Chain A
C-alpha cells in the first residue's frame, strides 16, 4: 500500500511530538512531583503505590512559614544574589573589555582566572573556612557574597569576553575620532550594545548564587542562612520532613522563576547577539 505524502507527514509529526512529550515528562516530572508532595499529607506522601487522588492540604506551607527560618533565608539569599550581581558585573565587564581590547596579561591572566573554575569548590572550602573563622566572618552573609563573587567572576568574565570580541573595534575608533574618550565610547556605544550580554551574565550569576549550597552549608549556622540552607534543615534527626521540604523547595523556585520570566526576552536577544551590523 502506498502511503500518501500527507499521511507520512502526519506520522512524522506525531512521532516528533511523542519524542518531545517524553523529554518533557522527563524534565518536568521532578517539579510536578515536588509540587504534589508539597500539598500532600504525610500519610499520603509515604503511601506506595502513590495515590493519584488525595485531599490537598496547605499544612506543609504553614510549617515552613511558622516553624523554619524561611523568611530569614529568603532575605539573605536575595541580598547575596543582588550583591553578587552588583559586584560581579562591573568587575567582569571591565576585565573582559580589557582582555578583549588590550590583551592584558597576554592571555596569562585570563587563563589564570579560568583555573579558579577548574577545581571543585569543596577543595577550597577548608582554607576559606579557616580564613573566615579567623577574621570573624563565619555565619555572616559577607562571607557568602565574597565566595560567590570569587566563583562567579571567571565564568562571567569569559562570557562577556566573547561578546566584546564580537564587537568590531571600528565602533570605538570611530567614536574616538569623533571626539569621545575611550571611556565615553565604552559608555555610549559599547554598553548599550553589550546590554543583552550583561542580562545573560546577570541571569547566570543569579541562578548559580541562588542555588549555591556548599558555601552556605559550611560557613553559615543561624544568622546568615540562605534558602538552600533552610531546606537542608528539614533533614532532621527524626527523619526527613518530605512535606515541608517540598513546600520550601517550591517556594524557592518562585523568585528565580519570576526573575527569568521578566528578562527572558533579553536572553533571546543576548543569545542572537552575533548579528550586529
Chain B
C-alpha cells in the first residue's frame, strides 16, 4: 500500500510556472526525496500530493486511484510541515491525538497509541505540557508523532529538519532515518539540503525552476549526473567546472582550458563530434589528487591559493592560471599558501558537459 504516481503535473501561480510537467513514480515503501534549491517547486509538488493545493494540469494517483478531486482527508496521507504546526490551544498529548480524535477513535485506544508513539519518539515526559515552551526538536517530534500515529499510505515531509540547529539536525537525521526504516511506509521527503537527501533517500528527484532534472538512486545522481545543474548541486564541496574547447592535435583529443590542455583521447568516440565546440569540464574536489611532485604526463601545474582545514580532510583552493579549483586533500599533506602543486584528475571520474545544452557528454 502506498504507491504515488505523478503525471504531467503543472502548477502556475499567476503567469509563473512553478511546477512544469512533472512525471515521477514512487514505489511502495520507498523513501523518495525531492531535492532542489528554494523556489524549485518541491513544496508545491508535495502540497499538491497532499491535496492542500490544486494542480492546474496533470494527474496524481495514490495506489492507482486518481486523487485530483479528493479532499486531503480522503487521500490518507500524513504531512509534516516545515514550520512546525502546533495547535496553540492544545497540550502535547492532544496535539498527537488529534488525527485519531477527529476520526472518532475510542478514548483508551487513543491513549494507548499516543503512549506508543511518544515512547518511539522519546517524548513521553512532555505529554502534559503546553506547546509554547517546547524546543524546536521537541516540536519536530510532536509533528512526526502526529504523522505516524495513524498508518497513512504515504508520509509527506516538507523540509522537516530545516528549522533545527545544526547539532539537533544531525541527530534528528539519524533518528528520522531509523524511524523511516522501522515504519517501512512510503515517504516523500522535500529538502534543499543535498546531504540530507543523499543520506535518507532511496531515490532522489532533483528539481529546479519547476523542472525535474534527474531522478535516480543517490549513487547514480552523484556519479552520473545527467546535466550541469545536478552535477553542481549534488556533492559538498561542489564540483569544479572549467570552461574548455575540444581540440584535436597530433591524433589526440584534448580539452583546451586556455591555461592548460588535458588529454582525453580515451573518450575520443564520445567527443569526436564536438571537436572545436565549447564544453565544460566537471571534476569533483575529491577526485583530484594533489601532490608536490609531477606524477604523470597528464598532471597539471597549479598554485595553492587557500587552505581550509575542515578536518578530517583539508580543503584546498588552487589556481591554474586564472581559474580556481577546490581540491580535497588528506590531513598529512602540508601545503603553504602560494606553494606550487601538481594536480592529477581521476580520468574515470571526469565529466564533460555540452555548454549550450548543459547536458552531459561523458
Checking B75, B79, B87 against A189 with a beta-carbon cut-off of 8 angstroms, the contacting residue is B87
B78 surroundings in chain A (CB, below 8 A): 177-178
- B83 / chain A contacts, CB cutoff of 8 Å: 168, 170, 277
Q: Which residue of A lies closest to B80 (CB)?
A: A174
A177 touching B88 in the complex, CB below 8 Å, given contacts A168-B83, A170-B81, A170-B83 = no
Within 8 A of A (CB), among B73-90: 73, 75, 77-79, 81, 83, 85-89
Interface contact A174-B71, CB-CB below 8 Å: no
CB–CB B103/A179 < 8 A: yes
Main secondary structure of the interface of B (DSSP, over half): loop
Contacts of A175 in B (CB 8 A): 87, 98, 102
Beta-carbon contact of A174 and B79 below 8 Å: yes
Give Cα A175–Cα B102 distance, bound, in whole angstroms: 9
B130 near A: Cβ within 8 Å?
Answer: no
Indicate if the CB atoms of B52 and A177 lie closer than 8 Å: yes
Check B89 against A193 for contact (C-beta < 8 Å).
yes
CB distance from B177 to the nearest CB of A (A): 23
Determine if A178 and B98 form an interchain contact, defined as CB atoms under 8 angstroms apart. yes
- Knowing A173-B52, A175-B98, the reply to whether A180 touches B73 (Cβ < 8 A) is yes
> Could you list which residues of chain A lie within 8 angstroms of chain B, going by C-beta atoms?
168, 170-171, 173-182, 184, 188-189, 192-193, 276-277
Tell me if A179 and B89 are in contact (CB < 8 A).
no
Contact check: which of A188, A276, A277 meets B102 at CB < 8 Å? A188
Is B351 an interface residue when CB atoms closer than 8 A count as contact?
no
Checking A176, A181, A189 against B52 with a beta-carbon cut-off of 8 angstroms, the contacting residue is A176
Smallest Cβ-Cβ distance to A188: which chain B residue? B102
Bound together, the chains give a CA A217 to CA B24 distance in angstroms of 70
Taking CB as reference atom, which chain A residue is nearest B158?
A170
| CB neighbours of B218 from chain A (8 A) | none
Q: Are A193 and B88 in contact (CB under 8 A)?
A: yes
Asked if A178 and B52 sit within 8 Å, CB to CB, the answer is no
Smallest Cβ-Cβ distance to B49: which chain A residue: A177
Contacting pair A176 B89 (CB below 8 A): no
Cβ A173 vs Cβ B81 within 8 A: yes
Categorize the interface residue count of chain B: 20 to 34
How many Å from the CB of B70 to the closest CB on chain A? 11
CB neighbours (8 Å) of B210 from chain A are: none
Contact A180 B81 (CB under 8 A): no
Q: Are A174 and B85 in contact (CB under 8 A)?
A: yes
B51 interface hit (Cβ, 8 Å): yes
What residues of chain B lie closer than 8 Å to A176, measured between beta carbons? Answer: 51-52, 71-73
Q: Is the CB of B150 within 8 A of A179?
A: yes
A179 touches B81 (CB 8 A): no
Q: Are A179 and B99 interface neighbours, CB within 8 A?
A: yes
The answer, yes or no, to whether B19 is at the interface (CB within 8 Å) is: no
Q: How far is the CA of A173 from the CA of B146 in the complex (A)?
A: 13
Listed in ascending order, the chain B residues whose CB lies under 8 Å from chain A are 47, 50-52, 71-73, 75, 77-79, 81, 83, 85-89, 98-99, 102-103, 146, 150, 156
A241 to B72: give the CA distance in the assembly, Å. 67
Contact of B89 among A173, A182, A184, A192 (CB under 8 A): A192
List of B residues within 8 angstroms of A174 by Cβ: 79, 81, 85, 146
Q: Chain B contacts of A180 at CB under 8 A?
A: 73, 102
- B120 → chain A, closest Cβ, in Å? 18
Judging by beta carbons under 8 Å apart, are B72 and A170 in contact?
no
Q: Which residue of chain B lies nearest to A173 when distances are taken between CB atoms in the complex?
A: B52
Q: Are B87 and A177 in contact (CB under 8 A)?
A: no
Interchain CB contact under 8 A, A178 and B81: no
**Complex Cα distance A277/B103, Å?**
26
How many angstroms between the C-alpha atoms of A178 and B76 in the bound complex? Answer: 8
Q: Bound complex: CA of A226 vs CA of B87, how far in Å? A: 43
Contact check, B72 vs A173: say whether CB atoms are below 8 A apart: yes
Distance, CA A171 to CA B79, complexed state (A): 12
Query: Which A residues lie within 8 Å of B150 (CB)?
Result: 179
Q: Are B86 and A177 in contact (CB under 8 A)?
A: no
Query: For B86, what are the chain A residues with a Cβ–Cβ distance below 8 Å?
Result: 277
Q: Show 6 A/B contacts (Cβ-Cβ < 8 Å), sorted by A.
A: A170-B83, A173-B79, A175-B98, A176-B52, A176-B71, A178-B99
Are the C-beta atoms of B89 and A177 separated by less than 8 Å? no
Give bound CA distance, A68 to B86, whole Å: 56
Contact B73 A181 (CB under 8 A): yes
The distance in angstroms between the C-alpha atoms of A176 and B50, with both chains bound, is 9
Q: Which residue of B lies closest to A276 (CB)?
A: B88
Inter-chain CA distance A170–B72, complex, in Å, is 13
B51 contacts across to A, CB distance below 8 A: 176-177
**Minimum CB distance partner of A174 in chain B:** B85
B73 near A179: Cβ-Cβ < 8 Å: yes
In the bound complex, CA of A193 to CA of B132 (Å): 14
Q: Which residue among A179, A182, A188 has the maximum number of chain B CB atoms within 10 Å of its CB?
A: A179
Q: With both chains docked as a complex, state the minimum distance between the C-beta of B200 and any C-beta of chain A, in angstroms.
A: 21
Given A180-B73, A189-B89, A276-B88, 4 new contacts (CB under 8 A): A168-B85, A173-B81, A177-B78, A188-B98
User: In the complex, A119→B50 CA distance in Å?
Assistant: 47
Docked pose: A181 CA to B75 CA in angstroms? 12
Instruction: Return chain B residues, CB-CB under 8 Å to A182.
Output: 71
Report yes or no: A277 in contact with B88, Cβ–Cβ below 8 A: yes
A177 touching B103 in the complex, CB below 8 Å, given contacts A192-B89, A193-B88, A276-B88: no
Docked Cα-Cα span, A174 to B88, in Å, equals 13
CB neighbours (8 Å) of A173 from chain B are 47, 50, 52, 72, 79, 81, 85
**How far is B99's CA from A173's CA once the two chains are assembled, in angstroms?**
13
Q: Which B residues touch A170, using CB under 8 A?
A: 81, 83, 85
A178: which B residues are within 8 A, CB to CB? 73, 78, 98-99, 102, 146
